[in-house]
Structure 1
Amino acid sequence: MSIFKDGEQIKTGKSNTTTIMEFVLLGFSDIPNLRWILFGIFSLLYLTILMCNSIIILITIMDPILQIPMYFFLSNFSFLEICYVTVTIPRMLMDLCTQKGNISFLACAAQMCFVLMLGGTECLLLTVMAYDRYVAICNPLHYSVVMSHKFCTQLVTASWILTAPVVIGQTWQIFSLPFCGSNKINQFFCDIPPVLKLACGDTFVNEIAVYVVAVVFVMVPFMLIVVSYGKIISSILKLSSAKGRTKAFSTCSSHLIVVVLFYGTAGITYLQPTPNLSEGMGKLISLFYTILIPTLNPIVYTLKNKDIMLALRKLFTKLLP
């Protein structure tokens, strides 16, 4: 038996097979000349995400005008975005600095688990936010009764909890596979498609399981959002006042933009029984839904929302009189 400590593998003489003990995230190693430029760009994006989402959370807590369910959900969404990018970006920045993408088997599994869990929570939370807009526009007289603080808290709690057991089970299933070939993951984080490519043997069952879970946590929530917005648009078009229609559309447009961006990229990645994207394209799409879209989300929500802009002006007036 021979052990290779730095090679991230242990070779057993009996079966003449190699068991992977850790992976190597290749990340952007194919463009080493740009690593410091990428480090600067991603650091700036990460700080932007942290700052913008933290400000949204702060004003939704402090400003009395924003003490309604819509902004309660938005503050939870902002906190979720902070958690979501923190799982991937700091690790990627460290790899860009050191040019070493070594990640232990356990750390890789944990990163995948948290990315999937937070991604699934985002799908559910976006659905809850669509339901909130549906009740506000289609049933405004009963809005305060239906969307009580207790019910809103239950919806948010369910969004955070429901994905956990499914994702933990799926992650355990994937990392229970034998990995006996290459240990190089051509991605900047441990994502399902590139990890499954490294597994030995038949991964058909795992690919189907990934597809089924994606349908449940991506496609079903997306269809519920489509149904909600179908009814919302129908109700808005029935309004006699042009000003009322404009106001109703403006309260929904930000959420709708975020839904299209997030579900579009996540669906391309996971809603395929057999992932057939090229590695370069897969990496590019992953950049969109893990970094670029979380950067755009707070900007979209603030620029298109008069209440938030007013709350921001109040906050800056207090801080910078």
Structure 2
Amino acid sequence: GLQDYKTLLFIGFFILLLITITANFLILFLVSMDRRLHTPMYFFLCNLSILDTLMAISIIPKLLAVLSGYDNTISVAACFGQMYFIISIGSTENCLVAAMAYDRYVAVVKPLHYNVIINLKKCMVIMTTVWILGFVLPAPSVFLAFGLPYCAAYKIMHCFCDYPAVLSLACADISIHANGTFGAALVVNYVPLLFVLWTYVIIIISVLKLKSTASLAKAFSMCSSHMTVVLMYYVSASIVYAGSKIEGLSFTGRIFVGGLNYFLMPMVNPMIYSLRNEKMKDAAKKYILYKGQDMTLSAYSFRYTVLNV
């Protein structure tokens, strides 16, 4: 049914892609330009922006080609490559969210030791571990699925190479693959979630012990953006997993449920961090004000030169 609205969908996903790339690159730009943002928290945020950008680039350009009628086919190698990157980026984001929770835990619970515990070396070790785990854990499932015989229909009933949609085309017993991958997905999704919940339980207990209202407000401000992203990310991911197990759910319904996680989150994440973070807003105002003054001085200098001539 969605194919009846190709033009509207093309325009919508094109705008979505532009917003996602612009918003995430804006975060990367502001963090790189403002030295006040050269801290572990914003280092992790930059990695999240890179992952969100990669997620959008992995899916939407090919989807736009399909919706435009330019090319609605994909090779087997490209399909499994897209599948691997989508799963790997999602797994890396799961691990990164847990790493960001650990950063907030140290900042609130052990503020005096924060610069010692979360230093540059520790950040590099954490991020290297996060990226390696995210891209290594999904590899066996995708590799085993790639080795299956695909002699059934060649039409993927999804808007990208989603693992269940592609696996359903195999003309072999896929129950072991499906159950194994679903179990692995639960581990990758919910082990980081349990760690995040544990850190925030400790954070809440520590915050409740604070006597000062200002300290309470500061602690809440430090954690609110991350907690909002955590809730949205895991709720949408849980809906995706639940949707994959609902037998009567239509293909359109599965695409819509998958879109909650794969399309909206990369766009929403930078907006949450930019709109709810005072330092990010200050950096944006500072740069806009600086550029505005620079343009005014340039115009004044040009006018002065012309008048003297």
Same fold (TM over 0.5): yes
Residue 128 (1) aligns with residue 128 (2):
no
Q: Deviations over 1:23-56 (max 9, x none)?
A: xxxxxxx334421111111111111111111111
Fraction of identical pairs, as percent: 36
Residue 297 (1) aligns with residue 247 (2):
no
Q: Deviations over 1:73-99 (max 9, x none)?
A: 111111111111100011111111116
Q: Is the 8 A contact 1:269 1:275 kept in 2?
A: no
Residue 216 (1) aligns with residue 203 (2):
no
CA distance, structure 2, for counterparts of residue 155 and residue 46 of structure 1: 29
Q: Is the 8 A contact 2:105 2:203 kept in 1?
A: yes
Residue 40 (1) aligns with residue 15 (2):
no
Whichever residue aligns with residue 160 of structure 1, its letter is: W
CA distance, structure 2, for counterparts of residue 153 and residue 261 of structure 1: 26
CA distance, structure 1, for counterparts of residue 143 and residue 183 of structure 2: 16
Q: Is the 8 A contact 2:24 2:270 kept in 1?
A: yes
The unaligned stretches of length 5 or more in structure 1 are 1-29
CA distance, structure 2, for counterparts of residue 188 and residue 313 of structure 1: 39
Shift of 1:273: 8.8
Alignment of 1:1-321 (within 5 A): 30-98=1-69, 100-270=71-241, 274=245, 276=247, 277-321=249-293
Structure in which a larger fraction of residues adopt helix? 2
Q: Is the 8 A contact 1:207 1:274 kept in 2?
A: no
The secondary structure found in structure 1 opposite 2:138 is helix
The corresponding residue for 2:300 is none
CA distance, structure 1, for counterparts of residue 209 and residue 33 of structure 2: 36
Mean Cα deviation higher: 193-202 or 142-151: 193-202
Q: Is the 8 A contact 2:240 2:261 kept in 1?
A: no
Q: Is the 8 A contact 1:124 1:159 kept in 2?
A: yes
Shift of 1:215: 2.4
Q: Deviations over 1:226-283 (max 9, x none)?
A: 1011111111111111222122112211111111122122233347895644322211
Whichever residue aligns with residue 279 of structure 2, its letter is: D
Q: Is the 8 A contact 1:211 1:272 kept in 2?
A: no
Name the TM-score, length of structure 1 as normaliser. 0.87
CA distance, structure 2, for counterparts of residue 273 and residue 55 of structure 1: 34
Q: Is the 8 A contact 1:215 1:271 kept in 2?
A: no
Mean Cα deviation higher: 246-255 or 31-40: 31-40
CA distance, structure 2, for counterparts of residue 319 and residue 52 of structure 1: 19
The unaligned stretches of length 5 or more in structure 2 are 294-309
CA distance, structure 2, for counterparts of residue 231 and residue 300 of structure 1: 24
Shift of 1:100: 4.3
Whichever residue aligns with residue 246 of structure 1, its letter is: A
Whichever residue aligns with residue 281 of structure 1, its letter is: G
Shift of 1:193: 1.5
Mean Cα deviation higher: 141-150 or 162-171: 162-171
Q: Is the 8 A contact 1:120 1:163 kept in 2?
A: yes
Q: Is the 8 A contact 1:208 1:273 kept in 2?
A: no
The corresponding residue for 1:21 is none
The corresponding residue for 1:9 is none
Length, aligned pairs only: 292
The secondary structure found in structure 1 opposite 2:74 is strand
Whichever residue aligns with residue 202 of structure 2, its letter is: K
